[in-house]
C-alpha cells in the first residue's frame, strides 16, 4: 500500500471544496470597519487602525510596523 493509496476520505472531496464559502475569521464584506485614532509608538505620527488598541501595548503606523514584525 503506497502513501496515497488511501482515498483521503477524511477530506470529503477535493482540496478546493472548502474554498468559496463565507471564509473564516474575516467573512464577507460587512461594510466599513470602525477605525480608531492612535499615535504611533515609534515615530509619534497620528494614524488610524481597524482595531481597538489594547492599553499598555504599542501600536505602530504603516511605516514603522515592518520594523517590529517577528519572522
Number of H helices, E strands in the chain: 0, 2
Name the residue range of residue 42's domain.
32-71
The answer to whether residue 27 sits within a structural domain is no
Q: What does the pLDDT read at residue 64?
A: 96
On average, the pLDDT of the chain sits at 78
DSSP state of 15: G
The answer to whether residue 54 sits within a structural domain is yes
* pLDDT one-digit tens code per residue, 17-48: 555 554 455 556 677 889 999 999 999 999 99
**Cell of residue 62, nine digits:** 504603516
pTM greater than the 0.75 cutoff: no
The answer to whether residue 23 sits within a structural domain is no
Query: What is the number of domains present in the chain?
Result: 1
Q: What does the pLDDT read at residue 70?
A: 86
The answer to whether residue 59 sits within a structural domain is yes
Q: Reduce the DSSP state of residue 35 to 3 states and report it.
A: coil
The answer to whether residue 18 sits within a structural domain is no
36 forms bridges with which residues in the sheet? 49
Amino acid at each position: 500500500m503506497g502513501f496515497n493509496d488511501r482515498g483521503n476520505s477524511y477530506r470529503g472531496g477535493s482540496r478546493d471544496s472548502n474554498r468559496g464559502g463565507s471564509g473564516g475569521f474575516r467573512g464577507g464584506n460587512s461594510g466599513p470597519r470602525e477605525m480608531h485614532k492612535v499615535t504611533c509608538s515609534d515615530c509619534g505620527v497620528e494614524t488610524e487602525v481597524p482595531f481597538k488598541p489594547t492599553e499598555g501595548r504599542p501600536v505602530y503606523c504603516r511605516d514603522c510596523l515592518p520594523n517590529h514584525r517577528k519572522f
